[in-house]
A and B are shown apart, each in its own frame.
Chain A
Amino acid sequence: MITAERKPIEEIMEYVAPFKKILLLGCNECVTVCYAGGRKEVGILASALAMAMMKKGQKIEIDEMTLERQCDPEYVEELARVIDQYDAVCSMACGCGVQTVAARYPGKPVLPMVNTEFMGASEQQGVWAERCRGCGNCVLAYTGGICPIARCSKSLLNGPCGGSDNGKCEIDPSVDCAWQLIWDRLKSLGQTDLYSRIMEPKDWRPAGGGGPRKIVREDLMS
């Protein structure tokens, strides 16, 4: 999923200062799962923001709403009937959601309430870690199912740098060395031969180097 964290309240207060009435808009997808921008977080931010603004002597009216998905025009359409009441929409969705809402309602300021971070997985309650860079050409079949692009600090394709230390990355002892993980797993899979294969320089075009990416599925288009 896409992970996100809420922006600091001070930054949010700066964003909303010019407005009298805002819609705080949650999303029921990824940001709900990572506790950053779902219905519950919308409620928490609405109270926190109202209180913080009151403390500063500024009055703001905040309504709450949460869409099924902010990155889908079908759901974003639901806003049409209410949006005129608001000076701005404060979106708690990822960057994709913010932009989908903004694109549909050209005259309305749409502000991000979260910082969108990475594609990750939950390691344990309250901990998410990056797992995928969306490079567009998956190499996991050759690396024991562990991604060197997303999980090696230098995105090295051909093995660990000299800084791999007791299974940990040189940048931080709390970061696993991806190549140690890859090697351990290749061993347990009986696939250590895969390591000897030299991985060629990566084509970064599908990773975004070729400009903004798009998937077009003509079979699904109406």
Chain B
Amino acid sequence: MKSDSNLEKVLEAGHFAVTGELGPPRGNDVEVVRKKAQYLKGIVDAVNITDNQTAMVRMASWATALIAKEMGLEPNYQMVVRDRNRLAMQSDILGATALGINTMLCLSGDHPRFGDHPEALGVYDLDSINLLAMVKKMRDEKKFLSGADLKGAPRIYVGAAANPFGDPFELRVLRLAKKVAAGADFIQTQCIYNMAKFREYMKQAHDMGLTEKVKILAGLTPLKSAGMANYMATKVPGLDVPQDVVKRLKGVPKDQQAEEGIKLLLEQIQEVKEIPGVAGVHIMAIEWEHMMPEIMERSGLLPRPQL
């Protein structure tokens, strides 16, 4: 084992993994974190703690991760290259792992332009692939990026994101291959709504031998309403929400759209389970953490393995 990560244990034992997501609050209220964490406790193998997602300032990812950890969850510490240079990233990784964080996810991060401080300078000292390689180097070679020896090296299971729906499509699997070459142990994908395209992506990944080298978790986000479906379809760059998905939610009365969204999610879970090379699901219930117990209950994915 490369780490003490529960996610690593579950995936390496060959179980179909389930990860969730917890967005840190826009303030320092610990109770908000605890409440969200309570909904996820015991029903997912790890929970992604987002890092200033959508470029909005929030409680630090590592700090939120530690609160979740205290409550018995396995945090997947997200780190974006937008807000830190290589010095800050390495010191945060050392601090986070010293305090028991075992899993992390390396990301580029949304551009500052979208957030609450659009005037900010995006750092982008490294890109997400450089960050992955740096974490692997710290763990496996016990060295800083500079090459100097670490006195105490992190044991951490390291992952990356992949968006099968960004353009150019033919570059997407090649970019995945680079992330695998750089050291990704696992991948969590962008939310999938276009299942045909995802199948094609997975086929390409499988044909290149990537699914043997990396554990791919299919990203899914339940749609709470037709409005949200429409928003995801038209306003979020790099997402592919086919019109029939939007129509399906629009086709039911407003008070039943949330239920329809959950039904769709449950069907998607079954569909991705059948796709060769999919090692698990990453369910991002955005500001809907309280629905996760019901979703997981109905998904047939409970109980989670205790390893």
Contacts and interface: CB of A to CB of B under 8 A. Distances in A.
Interface stretch (A8-16, A71-79, A122-130, A176-184): A176-184
B97 interface: no
Interface stretch (B42-50, B164-172, B282-290): B164-172
A41 interface: no
Interface string A148-159: 000001111111
B190 A162 contact: yes
A198 B129 contact: yes
B163 A156 contact: no
A196 B125 contact: no
A177 B163 CA distance: 15
A195 interface: yes
B111 A153 contact: yes
Interface residues of B, number: 37
A198 B124 contact: no
Contacts of B122: 153-154
Query: Is chain A's interface secondary structure helix, strand, loop, or mixed overall?
Result: loop
A201 B130 contact: yes
A201 B124 contact: no
Contacts of A204: 125
A30 B171 CA distance: 38
- Interface band, chain A: 20 to 34
Given A165-B237, A170-B238, A156 B111 contact: no
B174 A179 contact: no
Interface of B: 81-82, 86, 108, 110-111, 113-114, 122, 124-130, 133-134, 145, 161-163, 165-168, 170-171, 174-175, 177-178, 181-182, 190, 237-238
For the complex of A and B, list the 7 residue pairs with the smallest distance between their C-beta atoms, beginning with the closest.
A162-B163, A170-B237, A158-B129, A163-B237, A162-B238, A159-B175, A201-B130
